[in-house]
Amino acid sequence: MTDLHPFIAGLPKAELHVHHVGSASPRIVSELAARHPDSRVPTDPEALADYFTFTDFAHFIDVYLSVVDLIRTPEDVRLLTFEVARDMARQNIRYAELTVTPFSSTRRGIEEKAFMAAIEDARLAAERELGVVLRWCFDIPGEAGLEAAEETTRLAVDLRPEGLVSFGLGGPEIGVARPQFKPYFDRAIAAGLHSVPHAGETTGPQTVWDALRELRAERIGHGTSSVRDPALLAHLAEHRIALEVCPTSNIATRAVTDLDAHPIREMVAAGVLVTVNSDDPPMFGTDLNSEYAVAARLLELDERGVAGLAKNAVEASFLDPAGKARISGEIDAYTDAWLAR
Ligand SMILES: [Zn+2]
């Protein structure tokens, strides 16, 4: 089989499921740690690489929280956001809906209007200087309960930054039932935001149904367990409700035992609109290009097949029709040129 890595690396791509703080690469963390020498995060690249080697999921959460602790000022927020876009540009990601959890920052004392100004400033600079178009999904950290839901909804609806397109729900699923968040999603949807909760990653297909029926989900974050319910797969396929699949993340969190057991094949076979994403890439030791390579292997795709995956993400995005046509056109032009070499 041909090595698809060089093709994938240059392929214009869109990413729909990737977290803001979770995208802080060792390079970015080292810059943030240097700004806050009192933190316990190492600044030396080698020590930092060790620091990012997780022994288990609890250790991952510990490291994640220590990175959250480095984001203390609006300038930290701006730096993180712009540098995440730089890492995206290097992978030829042209468009990303970045999941931001404003509650974690405002609760830690970053003034809310300054937070919005910082992400917007970074968004405009990323588009101008790096050619990466960013949009925001504000998500409720489910583990923080309804107080966080209320606060996230208020920030999304009342302070709505220009780049905000969607509303999400993350954190643990076990013990955090989706239906309780219905009033918050209702308000966000009424304000014109799209609904994109995480569901069916660590719990069964009922959680996906709850996300569809109660939270009116237009895409599902992960949705891994959907394959256990043929009626659900048929529903997703019929309504073109995309799954945001993040293969390596699913292994890291043990939602799936190993890559070869990943249900992406069943999803595609059922006709579901599957998109490939990286979730918290540096924390899971991956990036979007690696996730495309994994998907290509599992689905036995050639260049056209991989380009099709990239176009799925464009279709399932909340870009306007002109923006979708532009990136899809870039994908086709790149693929044609590659195959004509
Ligand atoms: Zn996620």
Closest CA to 329 of 21, 319, 152: 319
Q: Where are the alpha helices (DSSP H) in 165-302?
A: 182-190, 205-213, 230-238, 247-252, 264-269, 288-299
Q: Does 57 score more than 80 pLDDT?
A: no
Ligand 1: distance of its center to the CA of 319 in Å?
Answer: 20
Q: Does 45 score more than 90 pLDDT?
A: no
Percent of the chain beyond pLDDT 70? 99
Ligand 1: distance of its center to the CA of 251 in Å?
Answer: 13
**Banded model confidence at residue 253, pLDDT cuts 50, 70, 90:** confident
pLDDT confidence of residue 298: 97
Active site residue 201: yes
Ligand 1: distance of its center to the CA of 170 in Å?
Answer: 6
Q: Does 54 score more than 80 pLDDT?
A: no
- Residue linked to tokens 């970015």: 28
pLDDT confidence of residue 283: 85
How far is the CA of 86 from the CAs of 8, 133, 137, in angstroms?
18, 11, 19
Between these two residues, 240 and 45, which has the higher pLDDT value? 240
Q: Does 64 score more than 90 pLDDT?
A: no
Q: Does 262 score more than 80 pLDDT?
A: yes
pLDDT confidence of residue 22: 93
Average pLDDT over residues 264-293: 96
Q: Which of these CATH numbers, 3.40.50.2300, 2.30.42.10, 3.40.50.261, 3.20.20.140, describes 5-339?
A: 3.20.20.140
Average pLDDT over residues 97-107: 96
pLDDT confidence of residue 1: 61
Count CB atoms within 10 A of the CB of residue 158: 9
Closest CA to 260 of 294, 307, 283, 228: 294
pLDDT confidence of residue 79: 98
pLDDT digits (tens, 9 = 90+) for 120-145: 999 999 999 999 999 999 999 999 99
pLDDT confidence of residue 56: 74
* Domain ranges for the chain: 5-339
Average pLDDT over residues 294-303: 98
Decide: 293 and 5 in contact? Cβ < 8 Å: yes
Ligand 1: distance of its center to the CA of 19 in Å?
Answer: 6
Average pLDDT over residues 78-101: 98
CB-count exposure of residue 160 (10 Å: 0-12, 13-18, 19+): middle
By residue count, the chain amounts to 341
Q: Mean pLDDT score of the chain, rounded to an integer?
A: 95
- Among candidate residues 151, 173, 201, 244, the one labeled active-site is 201
Of the ranges 78-87, 161-170, 172-181, 310-319, which one carries the lowest mean pLDDT score? 172-181
Q: Which residues surround ligand 1, an ion (CB under 5 A)?
A: 279
Ligand 1: distance of its center to the CA of 195 in Å?
Answer: 14
Ligand 1: distance of its center to the CA of 101 in Å?
Answer: 11
Q: Does 90 score more than 80 pLDDT?
A: yes
Q: State the Cα–Cα distance between residues 164 and 261, nearest whole angstrom.
A: 35
Q: Does 100 score more than 70 pLDDT?
A: yes
pLDDT digits (tens, 9 = 90+) for 158-213: 999 999 999 999 988 999 999 999 999 999 999 999 999 999 999 999 999 999 99
CB hemisphere CA count around 102 (13 angstroms): 29
List, in sequence order, every beta strand (DSSP E) within the chain: 13-19, 93-100, 133-141, 164-170, 194-195, 198-199, 219-222, 242-245, 274-276
Ligand 1: distance of its center to the CA of 337 in Å?
Answer: 34
Q: Where are the alpha helices (DSSP H) in 144-217?
A: 145-158, 182-190, 205-213
pLDDT digits (tens, 9 = 90+) for 203-242: 999 999 999 999 999 999 999 999 999 999 999 999 999 9
Q: State the Cα–Cα distance between residues 139 and 291, nearest whole angstrom.
A: 23
